[in-house]
Amino acid sequence: MINDFFVFCKKNSLALVLAGIFFGLINLFFFNGIELSKDFTSFFVMAFLLFPSMLDLKFSKIFEKITNLNIVFFSLFLNFIVSGLIAVIIAFLFLKDFPDFFMGFLLFVFIPTSSMTVAWTALSKGGVNTAFILVPVNMLFSAFIAIPLIFPLISSSVVSVDAFMISKSVLFVFFIPLLIAVITRRLVIKSCCESIFENNLKKQINGFSSLALGVFSFFAVSNSANTIIFSSPESLLFVLISVALFYFIELFISFNGIKKIISMKFVSAREGIALFFASSSKQLALAMAVMISSFSLQQAAPMLLITLIAFVFQATLNAYYAEKVKKELN
Q: Which amino acid is at 147?
A: I
- CATH architecture for residues 2-9+37-328: Up-down Bundle (1.20)
What pLDDT sits at residue 66?
65
Rounded mean pLDDT of 296-312?
Answer: 95
Q: Nearest Cα to 111, choosing from 183, 169, 181?
A: 169
Residue-wise pLDDT for 69-123, tens only, equals: 889 999 999 999 999 999 999 999 999 999 999 999 999 999 999 888 989 999 9
pLDDT at 287 over 60: yes
Rounded CA separation 78/64 (Å): 23
Q: Taking the domains of the chain in order of start, what are their residue ranges? A: 2-9+37-328
Residue-wise pLDDT for 188-243, tens only, equals: 878 877 777 777 777 888 899 999 999 999 999 999 889 888 888 999 999 999 99
What pLDDT sits at residue 240?
97
What pLDDT sits at residue 102?
97
Alpha carbon separation from 297 to 25, 159, 269, 320 (Å, rounded)? 17, 17, 44, 34
The string over 97-132, giving b where at least 16 C-beta atoms fall within 10 Å of a residue's C-beta and e elsewhere, is ebbbbbbbbbbbbbbbbbbbbbbbbebbebbebbbb
pLDDT at 269 over 80: yes
Q: Nearest Cα to 77, choosing from 287, 297, 250?
A: 250
Alpha carbon separation from 183 to 136, 178, 186, 238 (Å, rounded)? 17, 9, 5, 42
CB 207 within 8 A of CB 55: no
DSSP 62: G
Q: Which amino acid is at 94?
A: F
What pLDDT sits at residue 141?
93
